Amino acid sequence: MAESEQGILKSVEIRLLRCTISSELSFSSHSLYPNPPNHLPPLIDNLLGAIERADFAAALSSDAAKLVFSFATLWEFEDSTAAAARFCSEVEKSLDAFLSGGAAEEAILPGSTAKAGSRTEHRVAVVLCLGVAALLAFVQQNVTGPVGKFSPFPFLFQHPGKNGAVENRGEWDSWARDQLTSAGCDLLGKFTLLQYLEYAKIILIKLKDFCKTGIFCSLDFAKTTSWWLCRLILLQQRILDDLSSSLYNLLQVFKNEALLQFSEEKCVLNYWGTMLHENEALTIASMVQLESGIIEYHYGRIDSSRLHLSHAADASGMDLSVTGVLGYRTIHQVDAKPQLVLTTSTCQQIKGNGIPKSPPLETNDSQVTLDLKWNSDALDIKHFQQGNAIESANGLSQVQSDNSSCQNRSDFVSNGHYECDILMAPRLIQHSTTVEGNGGFSVIGKDVMLTAIQQAVILAQCLHLQRSKRDDELSRWEMAPYIEAIYSQHQSFYNIRCSCDIMRIRWESTRNRTKQRALLMMDKLVEAVNDPLPVAARRIQLSFCVYAPTIPALRKEYGELCVGCGMVGEALKVFEDLELWDSLIYCYRLLDKKAAAVDLINARLHETPTEPKLWCSLGDVTSNDDCYRKALAVSNNKSTRAMRSLARSAYNMGDYEKSKSLWESAMAINSLYPDGWFALGAASLKARDIVRAIDGFTRAVQLDPENGEAWNNIACLHMINKKNKEAFIAFKEALKFRRNSWQLWENYSHVAVDIDNLHQALEAIRMVLDLSSNKQVDIELLDKILTKIERKDQDICSSQENSIMDSSGGSENPVPVLEEREKDVLVSIIGSILQQIVKNGGGGEEIWGLYARWHKIKGNLSMCSEALLKQVRAYQGSDLWQNIERFKKFAEASLQLCKVYIEIASSNGSHRELSAAEMHLRNSVKQAAKFSVTEECRELQACLDEVRKLLAAHDSAS
């Protein structure tokens, strides 16, 4: 290829990317070639111009599109799925023919003498532009707005029907919906232009396959195709109501290819070279990392998401942190309080008056106002500086000045649609430069201007913070500095502002004082979708690196907010328009109108009897399994929702084998459903399939590591299989999320003892006591732990004796000091546990025996004898001499008591302990005449004889 030909495709690629990044739109009218060598460059110019103007309908009906899909000019658009499938097949054939320089072009341009393949790069550029145009048309109609008028068919070069539109297109839309939901998931709501997304996918995949074959596989050829496919597949996932494993696998492939090519500045420079604007390479590198982080965030991969977002922040030159600054949160607040603010160590230099030296966002003269903050939110920057530059002589009690108070009230009155006494962002009393002087950080606000990509990074960090922490009020306040930092920016792109507002709405809708403002903001946001300004070209920018909801998802969120505010009637209209039947049923149930929901679904089924989602919704509201079976039938056994519902029904009826089989079928279609794996594990457990149950619960925690129930079940199953180490690890994970379950702590303590982790076992026993109010006492477990501690004590004593003997012989054998210290710690912990039990009267008679053993380990024989005496007295009673089992326990405790008496007497030569032992044994043997034939009674008699001998020896000695 000629040198000029090698650059045309890369020039097209960078211009297409600039449509979605924060670069200035040139809308240039000059040609890629002043003197084009063939007919394709002018067509590419016209096609690119239409895409840059966001006139995607014109791009898809341009001469370039007609050149590629010439067959569509004479196509009969019959309304049937078979016709839609045939049209798709013709599209694929036309793409193959055009890319390979087939006969399609020769038939239209017979005068062309160029050889096939001489303009391959131009052909690739044309196909890439068509695929991107179809994708961006879908984005405009379903994500960014403004909602425009598009042909229902992507490549409609004729104009049949009324007003140039094809009236009957239901079957074609059904075909496109079936293709996009083939992964077993349903659509999240009612989307339009589904065919555009499907054909964009076909075009870009065909292009990628073409660039990988033959002589092109070794060329630096159309590398951005993977990036566009990554965006497309993520968008397809986001319009589905469930995560898809097949789409996730595709995303990983395309994402890794895009990262390999564009994740570093030097890679971007190597690919485009001098075609790039100043600092554009860093922007592209940051953007690809940011979009990769959003992908991982969407699938719940927190660690991977954090890594990508960190790289994006580094590439954009930011080091974010949160700190506290005194300020005011409400218009009536008198004393300043610490407010969380976001700071950064950007390279931007701050002037003394608070205005940044860095230039503002690049804008066109005709569209300057479209990048500015919405007028309803805007504050005069001079007033902002006055409010932020409050000085006070007293540092302890800062009071709002009259100017600041008036400004607060002005904001309160002027922003009528956001009327609330809570400020949208805290009014700080410290100037950013004072914070900057204490460590090189600046508070992000109007006086620190951020680029668009930096603002997108901040929003992504806010999302990651939300996902990585518990959903509670504290976490939402930790997100506030990120939201308020973007709100304080003087200029923001449309998508940045919308995403920021959505986060604020979600936060403020949980607070009573700001709930009304959140509802009004959401209402304005929904209305803005249809506003003509900002224009589509501006709305497309940054649409892929901001995690804003699709238009149906936004309207659904609006409906849910209406339900939360008691506006169920308004929510009903929204859900019915979006065809969200489950939400609609919920609203009708709130209104006690279940029959109305059934009638509505039946009416819809009369119109579209082959929609599985409707049959499943009808099954949910009527609890009829036949509806789920019908859903399976009309979906050709692809409806995972119907399979899941039938599996739950079978489980509830006790048919565990059938439930297990249905869950396996459902998970085979879509494996990214953690609740499904948990249910499969539960059904397998009931069906006595332990191996399959462990596999199901394991897959559940792989997808949802915070599923404490699944971790607990895994641990219990490992306990059954005598795999104590695996059970210990699983219990440790389960306890992170279920710390208030004493049963879980009890199981954990048993496993810890089995693997000789006595310290963890004792801590678990302490938690069991605290959570059960000292009512759950496991004597057997405590006995086992004491036995192990006693064995340790004996081993240490033996080691000390051996050490003394070795040292006398001249050799060194140091005492294991660490083992002795470990024993002392264990003795201290179990002692506090035993004292806690004894103090609260738990544990019964056996606890006194354990308490005595603990005192003996510590060497306190006096307290040991007192504890054993209490145990003996606890066994005594009217039923002692009638119950042989109780007698055996009494006899064992009596023997232990008398042995301790003997040991005390031998150590201090006292006569009192021997007399007490003799009297106790004599009375016990006398009363145990009924049990004289038992081994325990004979042991008591033998002990009595030994005590009498010791007494006689003591008397003779004295």
What does the pLDDT read at residue 392? 32
Instruction: Please state, in angstroms and rounded to a whole number, the distance separating the CA atoms of residues 94 and 101.
Output: 10
Query: Taking the alpha carbons of 463, 468, 471, 475 in that order, is the dihedral positive or negative?
Result: negative
CA–CA dist 585, 591 (Å, integer)? 10
Residue corresponding to tokens 């109609």: 141
* Measured distance CA(264)–CA(643) in Å, rounded: 45
Which of 395-431 are b and which e, b meaning 16 or more Cβ less than 10 Å from the residue's Cβ?
Answer: eeebbbeeebbebbeebbeebeebebebbbbbbbbbb
Contact 647, 683 (CB under 8 A): yes
Q: How confident is the model at residue 469 (pLDDT cuts 50, 70, 90)?
A: confident
Average per-residue pLDDT for the chain: 83
Angle at 98 between CA 96 and CA 104, to 5 degrees: 110
Q: How confident is the model at residue 6 (pLDDT cuts 50, 70, 90)?
A: low
Compute the distance between CA of residue 123 and CA of residue 38 in angstroms, rounded to an integer. 12
- pLDDT tens per residue across span 931-951: 888 888 888 888 988 888 888
CA distances from 254 to 139, 285, 289, 455 (A): 19, 16, 13, 25
**Residue 709 confidence (pLDDT) above 50:** yes
> 387: pLDDT confidence band, cut at 50, 70 and 90?
very low
Confidence of residue 490 (pLDDT cuts 50, 70, 90): confident
Q: What percent of the chain has pLDDT over 90?
A: 57
Q: How would residue 22 be classed by pLDDT, with cut points 50, 70 and 90?
A: low
Report the pLDDT value the prediction gives residue 439, as an integer from 0 to 100: 52
Per-residue pLDDT, averaged over 835-864, amounts to 90
Domain 589-766, what fold? 1.25.40
Average pLDDT for 692-702: 95
Q: What is the pLDDT of residue 409?
A: 47
Query: Residue 191: which of 554, 597, 499 has the closest Cα?
Result: 554
The b-or-e profile of 777-816 (16+ CB within 10 A means b, else e) is bbbebbebbbeebbebbeebeebeeebeeeeeeeeeeeee
The pair of structure tokens assigned to 882 is: 């009638």
pLDDT at 161 over 90: no
Comparing CA positions, the residue from 741, 789, 786 lying closest to residue 764 is 741
Ramachandran assignment for 161, one of left (phi > 0), alpha (psi -120 to 50 degrees), beta (any other)? left
Q: What is the pLDDT of residue 924?
A: 87
Average pLDDT rounded to a whole number, residues 61-80: 88
The rounded distance, in Å, linking the Cα atoms of 543 and 746 is 51
Q: Which of these, 352, 355, 322, 354, lies nearest to 339 by C-alpha position?
A: 322
Per the CB < 8 A criterion, the answer to whether 144 and 238 are in contact is no
Phi and psi of 544, rounded to 5°? -95, -15
Question: Which of the residue ranges 126-140, 204-218, 840-854 has the most confident prediction, judged by mean pLDDT?
Answer: 126-140
Neighbours of 649 (CB within 10 A): 18
Instruction: Give residue limits of the domains in the chain.
Output: 1-160+168-222, 225-298, 319-359+371-548, 589-766, 864-958
Tally of CA atoms within 13 A in the half-sphere of 797 that contains its CB: 8
**What is the DSSP secondary-structure string of 223-268?**
THHHHHHHHHHHHHHHTBSS--HHHHHHHHHHHHHHHHHHSSHHHH
Which H/E stretch holds residue 325? Answer: strand 320-330
- Contact partners, residue 806, CB within 8 Å, separation at least 6: 812, 813
Q: Is the pLDDT of residue 383 over 60?
A: no
Contacts of 778 (CB under 8 A, 6+ apart): 746, 749, 765, 768
Cα–Cα dist 444/376, whole Å: 21
Question: What dihedral angle (degrees, nearest 10) is formed by the CA atoms of 903, 907, 909, 911?
Answer: -30
What tokens appear for 62 in the block?
Answer: 């341009």
pLDDT of residue 584: 92
Q: Residue 446, SS3?
A: coil
* Average pLDDT for 895-924: 87
Name residues whose C-beta falls within 8 Å of residue 843's C-beta, 6 or more positions apart in sequence. Answer: 777, 779, 837, 850
Cα separation, 455 vs 487, in Å, equals 10
CB within 8 Å of 78: residues ≥ 6 apart: none
Which H or E run includes 326? strand 320-330
Question: Using the 8-state DSSP alphabet, how is residue 374 labeled?
Answer: P
Show contacts of 394-398: CB within 8 Å, 24+ apart: 397/335, 397/336, 398/326, 398/335, 398/336, 398/429
In the block, residue with structure tokens 């396996």 = 664
550 vs 528: CA distance, rounded Å: 13
Please list, in sequence order, all residues whose beta carbon lies within 8 angstroms of the beta carbon of residue 790, skipping any fewer than 6 positions away. 853, 857
Q: Where are the beta strands (DSSP E) in 633-680?
A: none
HSE of 748, CA atoms in CB hemisphere, 13 A: 27
**Confidence band (pLDDT; 50, 70, 90) for 402?**
very low
Contact 464, 423 (CB under 8 A): no
CB-CB contact of 43 with 62 (8 Å): yes
Closest by CA to 387, choosing from 343, 440, 423, 350, is: 423
Return the structure tokens found at 670. Answer: 């879509």
Instruction: Give Rg (Cα) of the chain.
Output: 38
Residue 713 has pLDDT above 90, yes or no: yes
**Residues of the chain with pLDDT > 70: what percent?**
83
For residue range 418-447, what is the model confidence (pLDDT) as tens digits?
568 899 989 988 654 444 444 567 888 767
Bridge partners, residue 428, by sequence: 327
The Cα–Cα gap between 503 and 520 comes to: 14
CB distance 697 to 726 below 8 Å: no
**Higher per-residue pLDDT: 8 or 371:** 8
pLDDT tens digit string along 206-237? 999 998 875 556 566 789 999 999 999 999 99
Q: 344 forms bridges with which residues in the sheet? A: 320, 442
Answer yes or no: is pLDDT of 838 > 50: yes
Q: What is the pLDDT of residues 564-606, one digit of tens each?
A: 999 999 999 999 999 999 999 999 999 999 899 999 999 999 9
What is the average pLDDT across 788-798?
A: 82
- Is residue 556 over pLDDT 70? yes
Nearest alpha-carbon partner for 204 in 285, 258, 152: 258
Q: Which two tokens stand for residue 255?
A: 């994402």
The helix-helix angle for 742-754 and 724-734 (nearest 10°) equals 150
How far apart are alpha carbons 281 and 277 in whole angstroms? 8
